Chain A
Amino acid sequence: MLSAHQLSCQRGTKRLFQGLSFSLPSGHWIQVKGPNGAGKTSLLRILCGLSNPAQGEVLWQGQNTQSTRSAFNAELHYQGHGLALKEELSATENLQSGAALRGLSVSPQAVQAALSKVGLKGRSQLPVKVLSQGQKRRVALAGLVLSSAPLWILDEPFAALDVAAQSSLQGILDQHLAQGGLLVFTSHQAIELQAPGEDLDLGVFAA
């Protein structure tokens, strides 16, 4: 269970949103919506603890995430605007080092299986810098496939993906939710997920 209590976010002199509360039980999702500059990314960064809210707190399993940092981080998979891929390394190497940093040990077979699931089978040994933007996004998707974290916080996961990759991402998210995972994501598209969930419109909480 992830819950937010009376969150507000201040950027410079501008208050982006205030009084934002929600609770997200396991197996459910929240899609954060709002126009550009409404504070979608800021909200996600507050939820995962990269920034501090001006007011309010974020609770994970009933405990403040700031006071249980390391335990919370171990159960979180965050994907921001930067995909955290090293251009010089291959997709396989990126996934392996990424998993190790997230505290996962993954077998080479699991990495190859994840890469073929997202359609990068023949490209696993190429340096990431020669891949297209969409293909880099697919490498990040393979990182999701390998993740065993219960809470996924994804910033614009559907951006720059073609139709096939979008449906495969949708499948990955459905599977995550069906296994009892939690998902918070932003997207400008209407996403049809099988699990129950709700939209969170930041416009309602605008100051």
Chain B
Amino acid sequence: MNKVALRSAPPAPSMGQTLWALLTRDLKVAARRQSDLATVVFFFGVVAALFPLAIGPEMGTLRLIGPGILWVAALLAAMLSMGRLFSADYADGSLEQLLLSATPLPFLVAAKIAAHWLLSGLPLVILSPLLALQFDLPGEAVKILMLTLLVGTLSLSLVGAVGAALTLGLRSSELLLSLLVLPLYIPTLVFGAGAVQAEMSGLGAQGHVSLLMAVLMLALFLCPWAAASALKIALE
């Protein structure tokens, strides 16, 4: 294959630099449209804060339901932002450019998921100890809560990306997306909330955390490829 060299271009950036450029672009866009980030954080905060008010100041009850409520609120907040993962890129033509990039699409998708998680998953992890105070969770349980949210929200972002890619450009895609990914979110929810409860009841969170990690590894391995294939079909 004889290449047609047109301009004496500087050396092409490595794949890492290309992925970094995509990640920072997404973060910059989000930094200038703070409403998206605010929606997720606000939703998580409000849902978790309303429960203690509605249920009353019974410490035992709050401690019992705390892990479950915090995890459900985090899951719904993460799902709320999932639909936006590819829709802006789809609308402005950036997605076509990603498909036509020399960098393999699954890696580009992984970079987009990473940016999305930094904006919608990580804030939940950081906010969670504050909200855990309202449920009077003990210090060790708060640590486990943060750890499980850290691992779990990553899985949620990865799995959600497949759903977002599959429902891209469809009418009522938000509803379809929820129907599609909610069942897949359940293992993460069960092990995540279960880990915190197990820690509080003195059983130790080890087993649940391992399972949560296993879900993450599986999602990390499969989801970028699945989402990339779905995007190709969506743009055909």
* Chain A interface residues (CB < 8 Å from chain B): 26, 48-52, 61-63, 68, 70-71, 73-76, 78, 80-89, 93, 96-98, 100-107, 127, 148-150, 176, 179-182
Contacts and interface: CB of A to CB of B under 8 A. Distances in A.
B93 A100 contact: no
A193 to B, nearest CB: 17
A103 B12 contact: yes
Given A76-B100, A86-B29, A100 B4 contact: no
B96 A127 contact: no
A83 B28 CA distance: 19
Contacts of A180: 4, 6
Interface of B: 1-7, 9-13, 17-18, 21-22, 24-25, 28-29, 32-33, 91-94, 96-104, 108, 235-236
A104 B10 CA distance: 8
A103 B28 contact: no
Given A61-B1, A105-B13, A150-B6, A93 B94 contact: no
B9 A51 contact: no
Given A127-B32, A180-B4, A181-B4, A82 B100 contact: no
B6 A100 contact: no
Given A50-B100, A101-B98, A81 B93 contact: yes
Contacts of A52: 236
A105 B17 contact: yes
A160 B94 CA distance: 20
A104 B21 contact: no
Contacts of A107: 10
Contacts of A179: 6-7
A105 B12 contact: yes
